[in-house]
Every structure is written in C-alpha cells, then in structure tokens.
Structure 1
Amino acid sequence: MRVLIVEDEKALAEVFRDFVEELGHEGSVAPSAEVALEKLTGEQPDAILLDVRLPGISGLDFLDLPSVRDSGVPVVVVSGVATEEQARQCLRLGALEFIKKPVSLERLGAVLTYVEPFALARRRAQGWLGVERRPEPRVAVELPVHVVTEKGEAAEGTGVELSATGMRLLVRARLRAGKAVTCTFTPADGGQPMKIVGLVVRARPGDFGLWFLDLLPEEARRLAAAVRRLLERGRG
C-alpha cells in the first residue's frame, strides 16, 4: 500500500515514513497540502496520513477539495492542535479516522491495518475495469436506490451521479465515511436490479459519495456500458 504522509514537521514525517515502511508499505512525504496535491496525481497513493495545521492550504481545506474528494483515497487525519469541532469536521468531510497527537506507533499501525482493506478494494475495482487509477466518466442520473447499512438499517435514496466505479447518493440516512452500505438499483439499461456494496468515501448531510467495492467483471462492464450510453445520449 502506498501511503502519502502530509506533515510539515520534518522529523515527525520521517518517523511516520520509517514506521510505514517497517510495516511493509511504501511511504512518501509531502510537507504541504500543495505538494500533496501534486503527489496525489503523480504518485497515486492508496492512503493519506494528513496533518490539520499546514503551511498554506490547511488539512481541512485539503479534505474539502473536489480533487481529493473525488479521488476516493482513504484519509486518516493525525493532529495535535485540532479542536473537537475540527475533528468532527474532518470526519464530516470524509476522513476515515481522526487520531490525536502524540500518537503511538502501535495505534498508527492499527489504523493502517484498518484502512488497508478499503485501499486494496479500491485498487481492485479500478483494475477490473482495466483502468489504473484514472477518474471514470460520470453522468447525471436520477435512479431510485435502496440502501441498507451494516447495521441493517434501510432507507430509500436517489443516485444523482453514476460512474463505473461509484455513485453520488442523496439519502436521508446517517452514513459515515469509511463504512460500507449495500445499494440496490437498476442503472437505466432495462436489466435486472444490481446489488452492490459501496464504501462511503465522502459524507455530508444527506449527500454521500460511494466507491463500489468488489465489483465482478460483468458488473463493472455493465456499469461502464450504461454510463457510456447515457453520455452518448446526452451528446445527441
């Protein structure tokens, strides 16, 4: 797993990087959010460790950038200065976890272990489509979606954007970033309903970004074909 460490304290960043590499991952350091944005595209990390107080763009503003939200890369915030409200805001903006400094390496290792399945599932989904880490075309839709949380709570929502790898979902439910939900919907192709597990990668009140997990090859092809037809119809 490629881990991008966004930390302006050089000594601490090096400690985090060395520990990440001891765990068998690849570590890369960005001393600012601006550098992290370049590495998000250039190095294509699987996960991000993010400080809140950074020179220039803050960690909170970084989380709220469309390019970061749309990437679907799991983000863990590590900070010693953030207030309780800022910690909650990080989670609302899509961070998987918030860790307060000073953080033990044992705790950091446990969090990376927690994050890794999400990162690997995201990578597999992209690999099945034959497109490695490239943004998928999205199309505006209005799809009824039946949503079931991990706790078995059901809700009815509407998919308003669809791609071959994810969906923007409007639903009155308490979904938290980093949690999986089961979505049942028909992608406007006249076929049978699809039942897909999605990871919540962005969470705002009533408005969520989902990354589809463990898509079968035929499911990925069906979604890609449906999106392509809708895009072509929109151009016609």
Structure 2
Amino acid sequence: MESRILIVDDEASILKSLGGALQDEGYRVSLATSGDKAQEDIRKDPPDLIFLDIWMPGKDGLTTLKEIKKSFPQIPVIIISGHGTIETAVKATKFGAFDFVEKPLSLERILVSIQNAIQFQRLEEENLLWRQRAMHRHQITGESAAIQSLSAQIERAAPTNATVFITGENGTGKELVARMIHHQSRRSGRPMIEVNCAAIPEELIESELFGHEKGSFTGATERRKGKFDLANEGTLFLDEIGDMSLKTQAKILRIIQEQIFERVGGATPISVDVRIVAATNKDLQKEIDTGNFRQDLFYRLNVIPIHVPPLRERLEDIPLLVEEFIDAYAYESALGRKKIEPEVLAMLQHYSWPGNVRELRNFIERLIIMSPKENIGLKDVPQDFLRLLPDRQETVDPYAQDTLREARAQFEREYLLRKLEQFSWNVSLTAAEIGIERSHLHRKMKLLGIKEDTE
C-alpha cells in the first residue's frame, strides 16, 4: 500500500505544487493550511509522513512539531521553510524533525528525503519488534509457585546494585535469570558481559577479565580491554564461578571490594563501576570445605542468593514451556507450527528431566523435526525416551480407555500417584493439598489399586 503524506502549509501554491508532484509519484496526499487543522487530521488518520512549514499564522511550525511529536513520536516530520537559518534547523532537529528542506523546493531533494524518512521509520518499527522479542526472551516461563517465587525475588533484587549469586542445576536457566536481573535494573541501557569461567584456560582468564598491555606476554601485540572494562556501568555475569582458580578468585575479591584493577602487564589502576552477578551449579560450601573456593569471596558474592528450581519441582509448567518451544521453532524453521497432543504432555510431566529445561527443549525440537505429522501423539514418541519412564506410563493415556468411567479412573489414579510422590507418600499432607479428607483419600487409593504399603 502506498504511503500517505500530509502537507501542512499556509501557502496555497505550495500545497498545490508539492501535493500534485507527490501524487504523480504515487503517494496519497492530504493537505492542511494550519497547525490545528493538521493535528485534527492526524488524530483521525495518522499519516506515514508529514511535511510541515515553519512560518504559519497562528500556531507556528515548531510549536506544531512539538505537539505532534508528543502524541505521535513515530511519525517522521520534514520541516520546510522559505527563511531557513542554522538556528531554526537546529531547533527543529532538537524538537524531533527528521529533516529540514529549504524553499524553493527541489522535487529531487524532496523525494530523497521522503525515501530516507520512510526507510528510517520501517527500521524503527523493526527495531521495536526485535526489542519486544528480546524482552520476551528475557522472561522466565511458568506459573508454578516455584516460578512465581523466583520472579518475585528477581523483581526485588534487579533495581538494586547488590551482587547476586545464582545457584541451580545445569539447564535450569541461570543465565536467563541473570539477563532478567540486568534488563530489569537501572543498568539495562549498558552492556551485560558474560564470562564462562569454566571455558577459559587458566593461563588466559586474567587477560580475559582484566585485559592486557601490549607486550605483556607472547602474542600480546596490542593493548586489549578486559571484560571488566567492557562491562563498565553495566553488569558482569560470572558463569560457573565455582570453576575459577584460587589465584583468580583473590583478584576478583579485590575488584568487588574496591572496583579497581590493573591490566596484565600494566601498573596503572583502572576504576570501574560494575555490578557482579555470579552463578554456579556446584555446592560452594563443599568446595570451601575442600579448599577449592575462598570463603571470603563466597561471602562477597552471596549478598542476594537466588536458587533456580529444577524442572522436576515445577512439572506443571511443562505445557507452557512446550508451547513456547513450539512457537520459537516454528518461527526459526520452515517446518510450520506443530501441535503436541494432550496425552504426550501428560506423559512429559511424569519424567524427572535431569537435564532440566534445556533437555526438554532439545526433546521437543527432536519431536518436531522427526515427526512427519502436524499433530504429535504417543506413537511419535521415541522408544528410547519411553524406556526412561516409570512402568505405569504404559497406561497413562486416559484417551485410550473405552468408557468415560475407565478414563476417569485412569486419570484419578495417575493424579493421586503423582501427588503422593510429591509429598513422599504422606497421606495426610497429600489429602490436605488436594482438598479432601484423609479417610476419603484412603478409600480412593484402595478403590484405584494404590497400595498403602508403598508409603
């Protein structure tokens, strides 16, 4: 669809000549003779671009420009003037004008300015879309009590400058939590720099963290900034910090305390303002006991501890996670959007997922790629995965039952088994959780063949 352009000028000759020329070029054109009439037109049907004269009786162009930008900041405005000065052009740019064109108007100049403005607007819209997608990627998925508690902790910790220490198993989303903390902080406009302490060789980690001076070691052919330099005024994420050597731990401790460091081979102190977020899948208390981690550094890092729960403690979030993975893969690939049947989702919620969310994502990707059908059912689940499930998963599908009564009984049995396992077969706690009397739960267990001797 062609772009709509609004021309605002009190000179009838300009409206006629410029409007006619732009219509000949294929644009839809609207005309306004004053700032008030222009704003009325914009409110009814916002144009793609505005040409606005500076000198008009009543409300002048600069005042109109400020009011347009206040209500419709996304619309590019090109200022036109027959008495242009550098001061006027600077003011117009300050108030948000995209370009400044002097009269008499050159059609060639006008068309170039229009093309640039429309292209710029499209890029702005694309950037906004990418920012929205980026923000979505920095949100943790789930509605379980465990995730609600985690989100509340992040929300409280993020606006502060306090050091955050994230713990959790591999694949739980520790890096995602770190990014959420950064993006919800006052440092979100500055970079978040990540350092994988386990992936950098011991002999290079100091250079990576602190940078180095030219000639400080073999191969150092120029000065190089380190991660602390790059993260200045932002966030430094030290992932797998439990794998850092004791020597480097001592230097990290000093920086956290003083926010001052020296490059490798340098003698000049460098001051930085960096927020530290650290993460590990190790039990650092055990590492301290064995002499592999400094206790004083642990206390410095552990200002705000945040634990990311494993997936087995929030199995009710699996359907939401699966939907997110399906959407993401449909967007990234050419396979289209597939659907996973409810019985498969129910089955996924009975597996412990030792690899956590990462393992679940990889498994869903495998299902989508290897299943030729649009709807993925139990028959499409690989046998090697089925062998990992408890024996009772062979009858987990209530849809396979012949009657409603049998399906209801199957569902109740699976539901009660899961709840009993959740509360370590404590019948009283399970009954309280699901909202029935303890004696009623006993009768249900007997009726459904769930033996109490499994407690």
TM-score by length of 2: 0.28
Q: Distance in 1 between matches of 2:104 and 2:26?
A: 23
Q: Which has the higher contact order (CA 8 A, sep 6+)?
A: 1
> Map of 1:38-187 to 2, 5 A cutoff?
38-65=40-67, 67-71=68-72, 72-121=74-123, 142=186, 144-146=188-190
Q: Distance in 2 between matches of 1:146 and 1:98?
A: 32
**Is the radius of gyration larger for structure 1 or structure 2?**
2
Q: Give the CA deviation at 1:87.
A: 1.3
1:54-102 Cα shifts (integer Å, max 9, x gaps): 121110111122x433412100001012332111100111101101111
1:195-235 Cα shifts (integer Å, max 9, x gaps): xxxxxxxxxxxxxxxxxxxxxx98xxxxxxxxxxxxxxxxx
Structure 1 residues 20 and 146: alpha-carbon distance in aligned structure 2, compared to 1, 3 A threshold: farther
Q: Give the CA deviation at 1:16.
A: 0.9
Q: Distance in 2 between matches of 1:156 and 1:63?
A: 37
Q: Distance in 1 between matches of 2:90 and 2:19?
A: 26
Structure 1 stretches of 4+ moved >3 Å: 119-129, 154-158
Structure 1 residues 156 and 26: alpha-carbon distance in aligned structure 2, compared to 1, 3 A threshold: farther
Q: Distance in 2 between matches of 1:145 and 1:124?
A: 19
Q: 2:17 is matched with which residue?
A: 15
Which residues of structure 1 form unaligned runs of 5+? 130-140, 148-153, 159-216, 219-236
Higher strand fraction: Structure 1 or Structure 2? 1
Q: Distance in 2 between matches of 1:26 and 1:122?
A: 22
Which residues of structure 2 form unaligned runs of 5+? 133-184, 192-229, 235-326, 329-455
TM-score by length of 1: 0.52
User: 1:145·1:156 contact (CA, 8 Å) conserved in 2?
Assistant: no
For the residue of structure 1 that corresponds to 2:55, the secondary structure is coil
Q: Give the CA deviation at 1:24.
A: 1.4
User: 2:8·2:33 contact (CA, 8 Å) conserved in 1?
Assistant: yes
Q: 1:232 is matched with which residue?
A: none
User: 2:69·2:96 contact (CA, 8 Å) conserved in 1?
Assistant: no
User: 1:69·1:94 contact (CA, 8 Å) conserved in 2?
Assistant: no
Structure 1 residues 6 and 85: alpha-carbon distance in aligned structure 2, compared to 1, 3 A threshold: same
For the residue of structure 2 that corresponds to 1:146, the secondary structure is coil
Q: Are 2:4 and 1:26 aligned?
A: no
Q: Give the CA deviation at 1:107.
A: 0.9
CA RMSD in angstroms, aligned pairs only: 3.2
Paired residues in the alignment total: 142
User: 2:62·2:92 contact (CA, 8 Å) conserved in 1?
Assistant: yes
User: 2:76·2:97 contact (CA, 8 Å) conserved in 1?
Assistant: yes
Q: Distance in 1 between matches of 2:64 and 2:231?
A: 31
User: 1:2·1:25 contact (CA, 8 Å) conserved in 2?
Assistant: yes
Structure 1 residues 88 and 124: alpha-carbon distance in aligned structure 2, compared to 1, 3 A threshold: same
Q: Distance in 1 between matches of 2:37 and 2:128?
A: 25
Q: Distance in 2 between matches of 1:143 and 1:57?
A: 40
Q: Distance in 2 between matches of 1:143 and 1:87?
A: 34
Q: Give the CA deviation at 1:123.
A: 6.3
Higher helix fraction: Structure 1 or Structure 2? 2
